[in-house]
């Protein structure tokens, strides 16, 4: 059993660690030209130090290895995959890797944590249908899950403090759910999650608008990877609802990723093609300022988190209704901001036609 006072002290130390290390790294980044140049696709207008997420990586794993009584066998596989993902991010921040090379790094990281650790979905219980065993599909599903969430956080990292703030909200929700609903043996997962939140919290003041340093792909990929791994830790023998929870918690980045793929497919573009039609771009295009857009997305992320917590207290029927409501709500949100395109608003058109019929 963990001493909660010691855990609290570790979290405080971790937050102070990134709070102190980040400005030191900023000086290092400027000296060695580790910077993000302004360009048409980006929102910032001046040269900014980047790769700041490496401070989160360093401080988090220092706390995990040195200060927390977590077995090395549990933390080492996560660290091995994280090291690969951070190296991939560093190379991308410095040399701007091709999408396929970047994807390869993510796949290697996800494969490492699967092979060395205990992160995999083995079975899933579906109401009225029984238990589904994944068997040989465990590894592909695990890799797809981790790579998918890693990409989702990376894609949403387009405004000051956006990816770091969303990650804190999502991880805090996962930590709370895990702390109260996982077994005693699995509480260490929640402890590590809270320590990671503390590490991000120490970095966040420098990253929130107006930012003085960016996460970089190093940080965004690392946070996405950790969220993917932690979200799978409690899903070894999942139910349909427990599988849905991480997707709901990460509602904003998951929605942004899925509709980016749909948008690019409909526009006959490569799914790896960059554009300025992500959720944050669309919110700014309808008149919100940089800071207002970030705060609005924080609020929507918090709503998704509350909905995710409600699943733990709902009946099966309640969970189905919640899921349907989320899907309809997301579709309306997507159409209102024109995430797929100004002309692609099928649900709003149907509602408009229905309204006209009622008035007639």
Q: What is the pLDDT of residue 267?
A: 84
Q: Does the pLDDT of residue 194 top 70, yes or no?
A: yes
Which helix (H) or strand (E) covers residue 125, if one does? strand 123-126
The 8-class DSSP code of residue 136 comes to G
Burial of 229 (0-12, 13-18, 19+ CB in 10 A): buried
* Contact present, 304 and 249 (Cβ < 8 Å): yes
Lowest mean pLDDT among 10-19, 76-85, 179-188, 249-258: 179-188
- Give the tokens for residue 9: 């002290």
Q: What is the pLDDT of residue 46?
A: 79
Question: Which residues are part of a known binding site for Mg(2+)?
Answer: 154, 217
The better pLDDT of the pair 18, 341 is held by: 18
Three-class secondary structure of residue 210 per DSSP: coil
DSSP 138-199: HHHHHHHHHHHHHHHHHHH--STTHHHHHHHHHHHHHHHHHHHHS-GGGHHHHHHHHHHHHH
* Residue 74 to residue 303: CA distance in whole angstroms: 32
Q: What average pLDDT does this structure show over 87-114?
A: 94
What is the chain's mean pLDDT, rounded? 88
Listed in sequence order, the residues at least 6 apart from 290 whose beta carbon sits closer than 8 Å to its beta carbon are 43, 159, 160, 209, 284
At residue 66's C-alpha, the angle toward residues 167 and 117, to 5°, is: 65
Q: What average pLDDT does this structure show over 49-56?
A: 95
Q: What is the pLDDT of residue 102?
A: 95
The better pLDDT of the pair 112, 2 is held by: 112
Instruction: Give 113-171 pLDDT, tens digit per residue.
Output: 999 987 777 777 777 677 778 778 889 989 999 999 999 999 898 899 999 999 999 99
The 8-class DSSP code of residue 124 comes to E
DSSP 45-93: -S-EE--THHHHHHHHHHIIIIIS---HHHHHHHHHHHHHHHHHHHHHH
Q: What average pLDDT does this structure show over 290-295?
A: 94
**Contacts by 173-179 with C-beta closer than 8 Å and gap 24+?**
173/249, 173/305, 173/308, 173/309, 174/227, 174/230, 174/231, 174/246, 174/249, 176/309, 177/245, 177/308, 177/309, 177/312, 178/233, 178/234
With a pLDDT cut of 90, the percent of the chain lying above it is 56
In which band, very low, low, confident or very high, does the pLDDT at 313 lie, cut at 50, 70 and 90?
confident
Q: What is the pLDDT of residue 45?
A: 65
Q: What is the pLDDT of residue 182?
A: 62
Three-class secondary structure of residue 275 per DSSP: coil
* Residue 27 to residue 87: CA distance in whole angstroms: 21
In which band, very low, low, confident or very high, does the pLDDT at 236 lie, cut at 50, 70 and 90?
low
- Give me the phi and psi of 340, to 5 degrees please: -95, -25
Give the distance between the most distant pair of CA atoms in the chain: 71
Residue closest to 201 by CA, chosen among 32, 45, 60, 33: 60
Highest mean pLDDT among 238-247, 320-329, 346-355: 320-329
* Contact present, 266 and 341 (Cβ < 8 Å): yes
Beta bridge partners of 132: 124
Lowest mean pLDDT among 22-31, 119-128, 162-171, 243-252: 119-128
Three-class secondary structure of residue 132 per DSSP: strand
Q: What is the pLDDT of residue 357?
A: 80
The better pLDDT of the pair 173, 234 is held by: 173
Q: What is the pLDDT of residue 237?
A: 60
- The pTM of this model reads 0.92
Instruction: Give 81-93 pLDDT, tens digit per residue.
Output: 999 999 999 999 9
């Amino acid at each position: 059993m963990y001493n909660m006072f010691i855990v609290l002290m570790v979290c405080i130390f971790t937050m102070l660690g990134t709070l102190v290390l980040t400005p030191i790294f900023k000086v290092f980044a400027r000296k060695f030209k580790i910077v993000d140049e302004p360009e048409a696709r980006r929102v910032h207008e001046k040269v900014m130090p980047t790769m700041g997420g490496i401070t989160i990586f360093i401080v988090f794993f220092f706390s995990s290895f040195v200060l927390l009584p977590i077995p090395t066998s549990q933390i080492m596989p996560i660290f091995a995959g994280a090291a690969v993902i951070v190296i991939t991010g560093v190379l991308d921040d410095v040399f701007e890797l091709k999408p396929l090379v970047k994807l390869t790094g993510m796949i290697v990281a996800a494969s490492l944590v699967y092979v060395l650790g205990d992160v995999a979905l083995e079975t899933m219980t579906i109401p009225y249908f029984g238990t589904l065993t994944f068997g040989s599909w465990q590894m592909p599903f695990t890799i797809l899950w981790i790579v998918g969430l890693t990409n989702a956080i990376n894609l949403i990292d387009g405004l000051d403090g956006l990816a770091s703030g969303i990650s804190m909200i999502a991880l805090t929700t996962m930590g709370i759910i895990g702390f109260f609903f996982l077994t005693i043996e699995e509480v260490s997962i929640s402890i590590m999650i809270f320590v990671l939140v503390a590490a991000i919290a120490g970095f966040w003041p420098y990253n929130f608008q107006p930012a003085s340093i960016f996460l970089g792909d190093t940080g965004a990929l690392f946070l996405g990877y950790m969220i993917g791994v932690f979200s799978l830790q409690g899903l070894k023998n999942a139910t349909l609802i427990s599988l849905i929870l991480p997707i709901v918690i990460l509602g904003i980045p998951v929605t942004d990723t899925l509709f980016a793929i749909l948008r690019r497919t409909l526009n006959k573009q490569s799914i790896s093609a960059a554009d300025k039609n992500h959720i944050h771009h669309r919110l700014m295009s309808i008149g919100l300022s940089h800071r207002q857009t970030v705060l609005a997305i924080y609020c929507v992320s918090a709503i998704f988190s509350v909905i995710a917590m409600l699943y733990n207290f709902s009946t099966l029927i309640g969970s189905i209704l919640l899921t349907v409501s989320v899907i309809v709500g997301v579709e309306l949100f997507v159409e209102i901001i024109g995430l797929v395109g100004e002309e692609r608003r099928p649900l709003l058109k149907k509602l408009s036609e229905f309204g006209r019929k009622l008035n007639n």
